């Protein structure tokens, strides 16, 4: 029997809960690898800047990931804006040649595509699968079946779904506090790397960002302390009480930034880091273009491990 067409709404802004699982063997947790997790989040961020959508929450687990996002209602878009987005999607000289050859019909097709959640997910998942297969000399499909989607009909459903997504690592028993999971949007928000995400104020109806962060943490801890099914992991009562006593203030950013003492290749003054960086680049040991990273308000500088955030297709 032919499968049903995916339910999508284009005449007004629409919230979706999206979920996809890898095609690996049971017990295979490919996405637990930090490089893979960062790569997938980077690809999600990349395509969210192209499509007319905003991500409110995400969580990348070992063998699956969740997204809660809002797609804008389809509307007319200027050719200038479409071109800006097309040049991000198809970078470089080859991309420019491709774009210059587009007809009016091609531009209309592209405009329509940027409001389509299926096209967005196709790009995200295909980009990650290509990268992973190429990096690991692997063949075959990476994702199992097609992604699942649920339309969220009102603000309460959206917030409840965000809590469900952010609490995935807690329910799986891999962390006690939801913000400790590096593959989650609440981790990114506490670290201050949430500029590309939907502002919490828009999600919770609270203008002040700090108040919105406190509100989200309170909701997460109270919800996470109550199991939703028998045998499910939860936030311990004593942890809930500790956070409640602190007023659910977020301490995470400073604590997380101290990780450079463990994760960094080097820590020291800016002069020291730049001097060593020049030597490493000359020896082709370290080719990353990033400058030394400011830590603790500029007290230290650090050099992170060699890795690539670039999205190359």
Q: Which residue(s) pair with 302 in the sheet?
A: 267, 293
User: What residues have CB less than 8 Å from 313, skipping those under 6 apart?
Assistant: 127, 130
pLDDT of residue 281: 66
pLDDT of residue 254: 43
Per-residue pLDDT tens over the stretch 79-100: 999 999 999 999 999 999 999 9
User: What residues have CB less than 8 Å from 98, skipping those under 6 apart?
Assistant: 90
pLDDT of residue 293: 61
- State both tokens at 175: 């962390």
Comparing CA positions, the residue from 177, 136, 113 lying closest to residue 39 is 136
Write the burial class of residue 311 (CB in 10 Å: 0-12 exposed, 13-18 middle, 19+ buried).
middle
Per-residue pLDDT tens over the stretch 92-139: 999 999 999 999 999 999 999 999 999 999 999 999 999 999 988 888
Per-residue pLDDT tens over the stretch 164-189: 999 999 999 999 999 999 999 999 99
Residue 137 CA to residue 134 CA, distance in Å, equals 5
142: alpha, beta or left, given left = phi > 0 and alpha = psi -120 to 50? alpha
Record the pTM: 0.80
- State both tokens at 190: 């506490």
User: What residues have CB less than 8 Å from 67, skipping those under 6 apart?
Assistant: 16, 17, 18, 19, 44, 55, 57, 58, 165
Please give the helix or strand (H or E) that residue 166 lies within, else none. Answer: helix 155-166
pLDDT of residue 138: 85
């Amino acid at each position: 029997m032919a499968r049903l067409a995916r339910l999508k709404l284009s005449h007004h802004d629409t919230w979706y809960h999206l979920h996809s699982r890898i095609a690996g063997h049971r017990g295979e947790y490919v996405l637990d690898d930090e490089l893979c997790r960062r790569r997938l989040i980077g690809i999600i961020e990349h395509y969210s800047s192209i499509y007319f959508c905003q991500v409110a929450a995400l969580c990348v687990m070992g063998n699956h990931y969740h997204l809660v996002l809002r797609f804008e209602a389809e509307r007319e878009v200027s050719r200038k804006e479409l071109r800006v987005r097309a040049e991000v999607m198809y970078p470089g000289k080859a991309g420019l040649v491709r774009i210059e050859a587009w007809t009016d019909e091609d531009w209309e097709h592209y405009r329509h595509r940027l409001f389509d959640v299926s096209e967005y997910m196709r790009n995200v998942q295909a980009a990650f699968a290509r990268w992973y297969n190429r990096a690991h000399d692997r063949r075959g499909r990476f994702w199992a079946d097609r992604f699942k989607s649920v339309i969220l009909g009102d603000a309460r459903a959206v917030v409840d779904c965000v809590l469900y997504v952010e609490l995935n690592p807690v329910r799986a028993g891999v962390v006690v506090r939801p913000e400790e999971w590096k593959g989650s949007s609440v981790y990114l928000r506490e670290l201050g790397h949430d500029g590309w995400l939907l502002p919490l104020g828009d999600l919770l109806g609270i203008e002040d960002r700090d108040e919105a962060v406190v509100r989200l943490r309170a909701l997460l801890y109270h919800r996470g302390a109550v199991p939703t099914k028998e045998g499910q992991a939860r936030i311990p009562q004593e942890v809930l009480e500790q956070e409640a006593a602190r007023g659910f203030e977020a301490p995470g950013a400073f604590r997380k930034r101290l990780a450079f003492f463990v994760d960094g290749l080097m820590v020291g003054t800016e002069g020291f880091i730049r001097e060593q960086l020049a030597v490493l680049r000359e020896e082709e040991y370290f080719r990353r273009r990033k400058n030394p990273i400011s830590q603790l308000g500029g007290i230290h500088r650090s050099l992170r491990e060699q890795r690539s955030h670039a999205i190359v297709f």
